[in-house]
Structure 1
Amino acid sequence: MFRIETEVDKERGLLLRSLLQDANRAASPALRDLRGTAAERETPLQVWALAEDGSLAAGLDGHTWATWLHVNLLWVADQHRGAGLGSRLLAEAERVALEERGCVNSRVETWDFQAPGFYRQHGYDVVAVVPDYPPGVKEFTLTKRLG
């Protein structure tokens, strides 16, 4: 018999992640080939635009892993929108990912009211659309070949 729990347990969460990674490596030659390389590690990547007073004008938070850049968040303060900051942050993240970390692809998820058009303008293609995530909203997954 098994006991099912829903409590948050950081140690079990880390164990679960490790066990799944081991199983994935065993099943996938591509993941086995990453073992021991820099690309195997999920490495944070952040790019910031600071205003003259030091306040945050825009920021990009992501990570690189397995030759991919994953943009988690890209935000530009209202008063700085339209000045190209988002484009500059994205370009810098892509440059670091390509030139310094050996990434060849990039991916991002965005909602229909956010920035799918922005990413398309920067060479990203829609590869998936999830309707009603959250309800009434479409989530887009977009990818781009770097370089």
Structure 2
Amino acid sequence: MSGKPAAPPDIEIVEDAYPELDAVAAIQRGLHAYNQEMGGAYDREPVTLLARAPDGAVRGGLLGLTFWGWLFIDWLWLSREMRGLGLGSELLRRAEDIARARGCAHAYTDTFSFQAPDFWQRNGYAEFGRLDGMPAGHSRLWFRKSLV
């Protein structure tokens, strides 16, 4: 005996490379419900900022969420010709202002060692985690910042 409980006999575990949206939504809803049961309501709200050219084309932007008093910055990207002009810092400042207005006291993100970790440090973020070898020859990095 392995000491592990047996899976219910009527449950089948299958690999599904193309799950239907309802299946994905069931997993997401289930985990969100559990998280809120354990940690309290988190009022997830998106933060979306776009950097548009005069013709309306998106040249960059920031996608994130606020919840549980934190801003999570999921994506921050600028096209090559927009980098080094201060737009990234401006996007970040505006996202932090939105988060503060929603009552957030902290922010965090993850990035890769080849994605300008110095940018995050210049903007007041401190590294708090690192996974070396992801991908090979690089690292995945986690940064945080107090917003108060």
TM-score range, shorter chain: 0.7 to 0.9
Letter in 2 for 1:77: S
CA shift for structure 1 position 146: 0.6
1:88: how far off?
Answer: 0.4
Report the AA paired with residue 13 of structure 2. I
Change (3 A) 1:20 1:56: closer
The runs of 5 or more residues in structure 1 that have no matched partner are: 35-39
* Equivalent of residue 16 in structure 1, options 27, 46, 66: 27
- What amino acid is aligned across from residue 63 of structure 2 in structure 1? D
Which secondary structure state, in structure 1, belongs to the residue aligned with residue 103 of structure 2?
coil
Give the Cα separation in 1 of the matches to 2:31 and 2:122: 36
**Could you list the per-position Cα deviations for residues 95-127 of structure 1 after superposition, in whole angstroms to 9, with x for gaps in the alignment?**
01112x111111111100102110011111111
Deviation for aligned residue 1:57: 2.6
Residue type matched to 1:53 in 2?
D
The 2-side partners of 1:10 and 1:88 are apart by 35
Task: Compute the TM-score of the two structures, normalised by the length of structure 1.
Answer: 0.83
* Residue pairs, 1:107-126, within 5 angstroms: 107-126=108-127
**Divergent runs of 4+, >4 A:** none
Q: Structure 1 pair 130/55, CA: closer, same or farther in 2 (3 Å)?
A: same
Coordinate RMSD, CA, aligned: 1.7
In structure 2, relative to structure 1, the CA distance for the partners of 1:4 and 1:77 (3 Å cut) is: same
Residue in structure 2 matched with residue 37 of structure 1 by the alignment: none
Aligned to 2:13: 4
Alignment match, 1:96: 98
- Decide whether aligned partners of structure 1 residues 87 and 9 sit closer, same or farther in structure 2, where only a CA change above 3 A counts: same
Residue 63 of structure 1: CA displacement? 1.3
Unaligned segments of structure 2, at least 5 residues: 1-8
The alignment partner of 1:21 has SS state of helix
Q: Which has the larger radius of gyration?
A: 2
Higher helix share: 1
Deviation, 1:25, is 4.0
Aligned to 1:145: 146
Paired position in structure 2 for 1:136: 137
